[in-house]
Structure 1
Amino acid sequence: MSSVGVILSQIGTPLEPTAQSVRPYLRKFLSDRRIIDYSPWLWQPLLRGIILRTRPRKSAKLYREIWQKEGSPLLIHSLAQQSGLQSRLGAEFQVELALAYSEPSMEQAMTSLESAGITRIIIVPLFPQYSSTTSASVYDQACFAALGRRSISGPVSKRYIPALRFMDAYYREPGYISAMQSHLYCYLESMNATPDYYVLSFHGIPKRYIDTGDPYPQQCMETAKLLAEAMGWDSDRYEVTFQSRFGPEEWVGPATDQVLGQLAERGIKKPLIFSPGLVTDCLETLHELAIEGREQFADGGGDAQQFNAAPCLNDHAQWLDFLSQQVQKNALGWTD
């Protein structure tokens, strides 16, 4: 019988590449005040009256371009990560997957572990760098799901609350850096020509979040520095950028799309883009970087055929080995 539960947590994905499926996913995602912290009195009318009327159709079209026969790429790769981690940890652990804004949900993962009689749970956010928009959202959901859906003054819905441990951000852990190094070496060996420049793209956040204490950009820069050192790149061979800007306010930069559009005029002919902040391929990597990124490079005068986008770690063996080791460290004292 498993004695420790492990919940791998990701953002989520629509179940189908349709506007009908994308709409509830976006509604839940964009209603989280960790993601959009505007007053609900101002934000919700805009979200429900404009954004959710137009954006689902546009997003569904993008999802259709990356959708796989088996379904959502993020879900496929996340399930492979769950399976790979379970096989490494063995019967003493039970590994569940929880998606923050879709299914399987955090509540479903907690219920599965509770049904198995597991009362000690390690939460593993699949976000190497901490941000209030990702890791903190996972912490919120895990605590809420563990306590049960009730108000302080409401009826008791759960008599026993599991013990929770949260895995720290691992943005500078040697095992994580080494896994990316190994992954990129394998990818580079499969290429016909060596890239002449590397773009390390991280998901962006509003600059205002940084000004109020979010450590995310500094952790991204530390990850990029350690990865570049491991790969042997000089400082003039790589650049850190931030993608996925949303809304009118200022975001942390430089913006990935703008940098890609200017590479050719800087004399860069064979760029490679990689996301060290996303460990699972999804819309942001498969479409925004690999498809739109190629178009942006070409629009700036580059040869689209010379543009390459490396996949995420996904179920890379060394990455899952590292994750297994981190889980076992967090479980010290909980296992025999």
Structure 2
Amino acid sequence: MKTAVVLFNLGGPDSLEAVKPFRINLFSDKAIIRAPIFIRFWLARLIAASSAKAAEQNYALMGGKSPLLDLTRQQAAALEQVLGGEHKCFIAMRYWHPFARDVAREVKAWNPDRILLLPLYPQFSTTTTGSSLNDWREAAAKAGLAKPTTTLCCWHDDPDYCAATAVLVDEAIAEAKAKLPDTKIRVLYSAHGLPESIVKAGDPYQAEVEATAAAVQARLKDQAVEHLVCYQSRATPQKWLEPSTIAAIEQAGRDAVAVVVVPIAFVSDHIETLVELDIENRHLAGKAGVKGYFRARAQNADPAFITALAGIVSRSDAPGLCRGGSLCGQHKDCPWNAS
């Protein structure tokens, strides 16, 4: 059976010239800025223009573009190889090329027997998975792509994914212990933040982030290590989920502990790991007196992670099986309900 597996992620600018239009696309999304359309488009351009120079400087630190598409291509190639048979992986990005509208036409031309939609966001949020899948449905309808389709989310507590992630955290903890044998270590599970209002409206993201962190923590070799879930990348003046990663790092300085930061909501390196965590937050840790700052690797094309994704795909035919985790299907926006 010819099976198209569509991988979703946010995308990122492929040049410094693309930074501003990418950010306009991002902040124009009604799932991100929840305001009337005329206000949202005005705000999107205002935000993009006001922080354009800083954003361009940050992308310059990564060679002038986001590495996200290249890393997702590596994930797609590795997953396709593990799946074998008649599986073909496609990549649809939300805010920059390749857009869903173009990928839907490519999938139609390949003419699969079925389509599996696999968001590369472990935890469901209306701002990520929900937005990407809504975008895909519109694109598929416009392309005339009508094939049996299954959505594979949310996989935040998939045992193989959590086990693969725990190995990466163990690796970072071992590095910290080797370099600082007499220093207490605290694991900071850092996820992209959300305004509290979105969570209070029913978004399950926070609950799923906490469930992922708990599942990973339970699989660590050192069960005595301290841990904390925190949230990064605040972008608006609203009240966001707390504690912030910045506050958690500052507290670690006051407590005289070392930190192992785990990008728990990201499975690929991009600006929020390579710049925010590795440069900005590392600098902050030094100023705050943190005893040591270590960062667990993102999954990228880690073989155990790819095997976990392949397992999620291979179970898509199981009768009566929820394709997501234990919380999947329990919220009104769950795309499983609409598949």
**Within-5 A mapping of 1:234-313:** 234=223, 237-268=226-257, 270-302=258-290, 306-313=292-299
Please name the residue that 2:195 is paired with: 206
Task: Tell me the alpha carbon deviations over residues 101-121 of structure 1, each in whole angstroms, 9 at most, x when there is no partner.
Answer: 111121222222211122421
Displacement, 1:37? 0.8
Which of 199, 203, 215 in structure 2 is aligned with 1:226?
215
Please name the residue that 1:47 is paired with: 44
Q: Structure 1 residues 227, 60: closer, same or farther in 2, change over 3 A?
A: same
**Within-5 A mapping of 1:19-34:** 20-34=17-31
Please name the residue that 2:304 is paired with: 318
Please name the residue that 2:7 is paired with: 8
Task: Tell me the alpha carbon deviations over residues 60-102 of structure 1, each in whole angstroms, 9 at most, x when there is no partner.
Answer: 101111238xx53212211110110010111311111111111
Task: Let me know the Cα RMSD of the aligned residues.
Answer: 2.0
Structure 2 counterpart of 1:258, which letter?
Answer: A
Displacement, 1:34? 0.9
Q: What is the distance in 1 between the residues matched to 2:89 and 2:276?
A: 30
Contact 1:281–1:312, Cα closer than 8 Å, also in 2: yes
Please name the residue that 1:168 is paired with: 153
Displacement, 1:187? 4.2
Tell me the matched-pair count.
Answer: 315
Task: Tell me the alpha carbon deviations over residues 277-301 of structure 1, each in whole angstroms, 9 at most, x when there is no partner.
Answer: 1111111111111111111111212
Q: What is the distance in 2 between the residues matched to 1:212 and 1:235?
A: 35
Unpaired segments ≥5 residues, structure 2: 320-339
Q: What is the distance in 1 between the residues matched to 2:118 and 2:76?
A: 11
3-state SS, counterpart of residue 61 of structure 2? helix
Which of 196, 202, 220 in structure 1 is aligned with 2:185?
196
Identity of aligned residues (%): 24
Contact 2:173–2:260, Cα closer than 8 Å, also in 1: no
Contact 1:4–1:331, Cα closer than 8 Å, also in 2: no
3-state SS, counterpart of residue 283 of structure 2? helix
Displacement, 1:235? 7.0
3-state SS, counterpart of residue 30 of structure 1? helix
Which of 70, 75, 79 in structure 1 is aligned with 2:69?
75
Contact 1:82–1:95, Cα closer than 8 Å, also in 2: yes
Unpaired segments ≥5 residues, structure 1: 149-156
Displacement, 1:44? 2.4
Which of 126, 141, 163 in structure 1 is aligned with 2:120?
126
Q: What is the distance in 2 between the residues matched to 1:252 and 1:27?
A: 24
Please name the residue that 1:38 is paired with: 35
1:216 aligns with 2:212: no
Q: What is the distance in 2 between the residues matched to 1:234 and 1:117?
A: 49
Which of 177, 187, 203 in structure 1 is aligned with 2:162?
177
Please name the residue that 1:328 is paired with: 314
Q: With the length of structure 2 as denominator, give the TM-score of the two structures.
A: 0.87
Contact 2:27–2:43, Cα closer than 8 Å, also in 1: no
Q: With the length of structure 1 as denominator, give the TM-score of the two structures.
A: 0.88
Please name the residue that 2:324 is paired with: none
Please name the residue that 2:327 is paired with: none
Contact 1:94–1:113, Cα closer than 8 Å, also in 2: no
Contact 1:129–1:220, Cα closer than 8 Å, also in 2: yes
